[in-house]
Amino acid sequence: MLLIVVAFIVAFVLLLYMISPLISPKPLKLNGAHVVVTGGSGGIGKCIAIECYRQGAFITLVARDEDKLLKAKKEVEQFAVNDKQVVLCVSVDISSDYTQVENVIKQAQEKLGPVDMLVNCAGTAVAGKFEEMEVERFKELMEVNYLGSVYPTRAVITTMKERRMGRIVFVSSQAGQIGLFGYTAYSPSKFALRGLAESLQMEMKPYNIYVTVAFPPDTDTPLLAEENKSKPLETKLISETSGVWQPDQVAKVFVKDAVQGNFNSSVGPDGYMLSALTCGMSPVTSITEGLQQIVTMGLFRTIALFYLGSFDSIVRRCMIQREQSKTADKTE
């Protein structure tokens, strides 16, 4: 019996080794490549644009506010590595009308050539209790975070398929790997990206197009500052688990993974554990990644149960505190 189990494991590892060269993509050369970054005028997107520009890429920044775009363009341009590089700005709402998005991408391709890498980073967040959230928010977040990633991707994919090359990055969130208190509207819009990415990757792999899903933790950007103004205490306390990161730190990791064609991109020890734990049926892009998932999954699930216990106790304590302060108010 033991022999069979051992033989099975050995055969499995061998199989993994055998198929892995087929699935490890060739890294994308950023030097001279055209990279489109939605949400490129601020926060994580701007840092991703800078990271690509530093490696010699031509950049198209996509966002709504034109002043912010121009300011970001000037910032990015400071990191030029040769005098041919260009930063193009396009102002469009990526979530409202597909034809508009298609048109601006067409214009960008006419000016800077076919898109080699698309980074879907534009997005927004609100945290609040399910029954207190305005109902429109659920729709808005799906439109901006989900459809706002579908549209630009649709607009570049045909040319990528024809050229048999390309990279698509979806910026999800750690809240796209686990559902948390306060994120009933936000989390689903980020989980959706994972489903899109997995399906798209299976379709695109024969065309040498690689999809990356990035799962940032809390990152120090204008969005986080805005979100914190109305974040429930529970959400704050739970999110503190994986700390607050700097946008340039997370951007570096995401660009590296996208260039290598890794499906999953995470930051920090909690990010690593979450990704291994939630890998499900997502594609593997290296032998080490596959082996690590096999070996660590049980251990990480055990650790996760402790985390879940502590999250439950945060929620319970906050509820008791609220009720106590309510009764105190009444007796005053």
Ligand X SMILES: NC(=O)C1=CN([C@@H]2O[C@H](COP(=O)(O)OP(=O)(O)OC[C@H]3O[C@@H](n4cnc5c(N)ncnc54)[C@H](OP(=O)(O)O)[C@@H]3O)[C@@H](O)[C@H]2O)C=CC1
Catalytic residues: 172, 186, 190
Q: Which of 20, 54, 55, 64 touches ligand X by CB under 6 A?
A: 64
- Binding mask 109-148 vs ligand VSD (x if CB under 6 A, - otherwise)? ----------------x-----------------------
Q: Say how far apart CA 18 and CA 20 lie, in whole Å.
A: 6
* Residue 93 binds which entry of ligand X, ligand VSD, none, CB below 5-8 Å type-dependent: ligand X
Q: Which of 41, 60, 239, 293 binds ligand VSD (CB under 6 A)?
A: 239
Tokens of 251: 């951007």
User: In whole angstroms, what is the distance from residue 232 CA to residue 115 CA?
Assistant: 40
89 forms beta bridges with: 61
**Is 274 near ligand VSD (CB under 6 A)?**
yes
Query: Which residue matches tokens 């994972």?
Result: 194
Per DSSP, helices labelled H in 212-286 are 222-228, 233-239, 247-260, 268-277
From ligand X, ligand VSD, none, interface partner of 303 (C-beta below 5 to 8 A by class)? ligand VSD
CA nearest neighbour of 245 among 275, 218, 215: 218
Calpha distance 309→215 (Å, rounded): 23
Q: Report the residue from 33, 49, 50, 63 that binds ligand X according to the rule CB under 6 A.
A: 63
CB of 285 to ligand X, least distance (A): 21
In whole angstroms, what is the distance from residue 251 CA to residue 32 CA?
19
Which residue lies nearer to ligand VSD by CB, 30 or 175?
175
51 contacts ligand VSD (rule: CB under 6 A): no
Other residues' Cβ atoms within 10 Å of the Cβ of residue 190: 27
CA angle 178, 279, 5 (to 5 degrees): 135
- State how beta strands 264-266 and 209-215 pair: parallel
Which one of residues 27, 113, 222, 269 is an interface residue with ligand X (CB under 6 A)?
Answer: 222
| Least distance CB 275 / ligand X (angstroms) | 14
Site for ligand VSD contains 294 (CB under 6 A): no
Q: Would you tell me how many other CB atoms lie within 10 Å of the CB of residue 139? A: 12
Region near ligand VSD per CB under 6 A, out of 84-92, 174-182, 290-298, 318-326? 174-182
Q: Is 270 in the site for ligand VSD (CB under 6 A)?
A: yes
283 binds ligand X (CB under 6 A): no
Site for ligand X in 88-147 (CB under 6 A): 93-95, 121-125, 144-145
x-or-dash pattern for ligand X, window 142-181, by CB under 6 A? --xx--x----------------------x-x--------
Which is nearer to ligand X, 246 or 324 (by Cβ)? 246
CA–CA distance, 76 with 59 (Å, rounded to integer): 9
CB 71: neighbour CB atoms within 10 A? 15
> Residue 39's CB: how many other CB atoms inside 10 A?
27
Q: List residues binding ligand VSD (CB under 6 A).
A: 125, 173-175, 180, 217-218, 223-224, 227, 239, 241-242, 270, 273-274, 277, 300, 303-304, 307
